[in-house]
Structure 1
């Protein structure tokens, strides 16, 4: 029998849904899954028809983090461990650096590197049954790499609460912490996420790419430098055809026609 693909891709009106497809391991991030996810993100970045990315999980969970069974089976081989964490870091950075917005669609558990995936995404929609944790401290392996994304998305004390306790938090708590945007009933999660993704996909792809890149860059800068940087970004953005088309359409009370230029 042919093995099921580790990652599924579905395209719908500019929205690309990538589904982690290792349900038997709660979509544990094996080295193989991380490698194909890295490849898929690179392909999407170069695909002009792809406007928004949704990352989801097959089966009962979104993602339970790194595959601990694989780690043990590899006897914690240093070369394997180095490659595993290097590829994982590349994937998380690829999500942030992708020229298209990325939405995490979360159900079940999102733990350890699974929570890192959620924190790395630009937006996150969660079902009412979703639970989140960075539980590495409970097994003697502190969630140091998930900490990078987590600490950049939630308050420091909230991040430390999750990292030091290892406890599961429910969806309302995750929303209060700033880890997710919206919570919906499980039966509505897919449709709600897709509807929002389509709304974003209808915008100018050039404008989305400019805005996403500038958002993360300015967040790293001191206030005065952030204003100087974004002033230059806006001036350059204004040279684009889509910016002038959008302004003209607004003033003329018509729908804009985006070209991505």
Structure 2
């Protein structure tokens, strides 16, 4: 198990049995995505992206809230359009890096996830929240429509529900977020750690190669026309079939035994 910290400890990293846990650590600021936080997260994701031994990533947060979005005080200190474009470009790159990462990314959510914090949840492949968690894209309340969060949100939930959240700034609770598709699971607050551990263990029990093949095709095919999506998925599945793990998995199934997966990175 490895631990590392970056940028004055605002982001914590723990490596455990192929899973990487990234924990936002500005609890007194509700883990806002300051420039330093964006930089620290981007650095870790870039490192993980080229590490063949990583099998899944959990994004969590310390304190009462998951993430309150951009640091508004920092933004007001730089009243310059070029600065804002740079900031939103860097945030958008981070969100796209989550989607493009070759392994599943799971958000572990407690408390509030608002604006770009809600965007981060929407960008993750899976998201498990405590039942007391709440979600909003509330920039509209301070005169700022959450345009970049809208990109991830509208690809995660139905457009009319997304626009209603964006134009009203209203919060939704975890049960509603689950029903609408923003979350993949909700659990009692006291059971959040156990639920996350169970989901990570489930992913780690699968073929590392098959999981990576799956992540590589799932998001791109959603942007394709139907025939193109099937063509792309067929190529990925054929390549997956040629992997040693697929041969081992099918042979094990036919022989009624447990498969022995190859190690990631080999």
Q: Tell me the TM-score range normalised by the shorter chain.
A: over 0.9
Deviations 1:42-78 (A, max 9, x none): 111222332110101111100000000111123x233
Change (3 A) 1:213 1:3: closer
Q: Does 1:56 align with 2:64?
A: no
Aligned length: 259
For structure 2, which runs of at least 5 residues remain unmatched after alignment? 1-5
Equivalent in 177, 181, 185 of residue 178 of structure 1: 181
Q: Does 1:135 align with 2:138?
A: yes
Give the TM-score normalised by the residue count of structure 1: 0.95
- Counterparts in 2 of 1:35-184, with a 5 A limit? 35-74=39-78, 76-184=79-187
Deviations 1:203-260 (A, max 9, x none): 2222111111211111111112211221121112111111111111111122222224
Secondary structure of 1:147 counterpart: helix
Query: Which segments of structure 1 move beyond 6 Å, counting only runs of 4 or more?
Result: none
Q: Name 1:216's counterpart in structure 2.
A: 219
Query: Would the aligned equivalents of 1:128 and 1:185 in 2 still touch at CA under 8 Å?
Result: yes
Change (3 A) 1:255 1:220: same
How many angstroms apart in 2 are the aligned matches of 1:83 and 1:190?
A: 36
Give the TM-score normalised by the residue count of structure 2: 0.93
How many angstroms apart in 2 are the aligned matches of 1:131 and 1:256?
A: 40
Secondary structure of 2:73 counterpart: helix
Secondary structure of 1:142 counterpart: coil
For structure 1, which runs of at least 5 residues remain unmatched after alignment? none
Equivalent in 4, 8, 12 of residue 12 of structure 2: 8
Secondary structure of 2:113 counterpart: strand
How many angstroms apart in 2 are the aligned matches of 1:34 and 1:217?
A: 24
Secondary structure of 1:89 counterpart: helix
Query: Would the aligned equivalents of 1:127 and 1:184 in 2 still touch at CA under 8 Å?
Result: yes
